[in-house]
Structure formats: structure tokens, C-alpha cells
Amino acid sequence: MQYVHEMFNCNMPPDEVSKPPQCGARLRQGGTCGLPPTAGKSRCFQHGGARGSGGQKDNRNAQTHGLYNREAIAERRAFSALIRECLATLRELKSR
């Protein structure tokens, strides 16, 4: 078993070989958290490593209603241009 441990840790500095990975979150008392991190995360379950935690894959956090996205702005501009054109036509018919 010692051979396997040495084989996988040969690239690590000697002082870090024996230390298991730690969460490392800063605590209120001033120290760091010594719990092991959750699988696939860099923090333990108490400090943000819980399953399902973190942001979404896309940036959907800022989108609330879609009023200012590109499609909505383009649609409003096209509608405003149509209204301006209709008003200009009405003014032209009224002046005749």
C-alpha cells in the first residue's frame, strides 16, 4: 500500500504528501476549516460544497422578465416604426 501511495504522490512536495485535502474556508474564529472537501468540489458540505449548490450553467441569474433582451428591444422598435408610419399616412390623408 505504501508503494501505491508513493507512486501517486511522487510529484507532490514531501510536506503535502501526508496531508489529506482540506476545505480551507476561513472561520469566524480566524482558523481554517479542516473538513475534507465534497467530491468534485473544493469546499466541504458546510461551506458551499453541497450537491446542487452554486450558480447555474448559463447566466440566467440576472434575467428576470426579458424586457431588455435583444428580441424585445427589436420588436418594440419595429412596432414604433409601424406606428410612426401609420401616423404619417393619417396626416397625409388629413391634409388632402
Instruction: Indicate whether 30 and 72 sit together in one domain.
Output: no
Q: In this structure, is residue 56 part of a structural domain?
A: no
Domain count, the chain: 2
Q: Is residue 57 part of a domain?
A: no
Range(s) of the domain holding residue 76:
67-96
Determine if the pTM surpasses 0.85: no
Q: Is 86 part of a structural domain of the chain? A: yes
Same domain, 44 and 71: no
Q: Pick 42 or 80 by higher pLDDT.
A: 80
In a domain, 74, yes or no: yes
Q: Considering the domain boundaries, does residue 36 fall inside one?
A: yes
Q: What percent of the chain has pLDDT over 90?
A: 28
CB neighbour class for 45 (10 Å; exposed up to 12, middle 13-18, buried from 19): middle
Residue 1 has pLDDT above 70, yes or no: no
The pLDDT tens digits of the residues spanning 19-36 come to 788 898 998 998 999 899
> Residue 18 has what pLDDT?
67
Task: Provide the 8-state DSSP code for 26.
Answer: B
Same domain, 2 and 44: yes
pLDDT tens across 50-69, in order? 777 766 666 666 667 778 88
SS3 80: helix
